[in-house]
Amino acid sequence: MSLKITDECINCDVCEPECPNQAISMGETIYVIDPAKCTECVGHFDEPQCVQVCPVECIPVDPLHTETREQLLIKYEGLQALARAQVRERNALDV
């Protein structure tokens, strides 16, 4: 499942840097989580890091984006492969 940030967000800026997939960004008024990038930290950590650091506990599971742990792991592996490809591309341009 992806996580989501609710309207209780106080824009404290602690969640964004904790996300290993860069799934969190500033929205129009509060931070938002891109469900295509959110793996609930599966593959990186045992628990979602944004949830751990949120001082107002405004990051629940998003019921509109339900995924199993196995699906989250597949998403993680795809995101990692994409990141590696981007690094290779940048390195090729530097040569």
Please check whether residue 31 is in contact with residue 9, taking contact to mean a CB–CB distance below 8 angstroms: yes
Q: What is the pTM of this model?
A: 0.89
Q: For residues 36-50, give the mean pLDDT.
A: 97
Please check whether residue 33 is in contact with residue 3, taking contact to mean a CB–CB distance below 8 angstroms: yes
| Domains of the chain by residue range | 16-94
Asked: is 16-94 a CATH 3.40.1350.10 domain? The reply is: no
Q: Would you state the pLDDT for residue 52?
A: 97
Instruction: Identify the residue with better confidence: 1 or 60.
Output: 60
- Tell me if residue 26 falls in helix, strand or coil: strand
In degrees, to the nearest 5, what angle opens at C-alpha 66 toward C-alphas 64 and 70?
Answer: 160
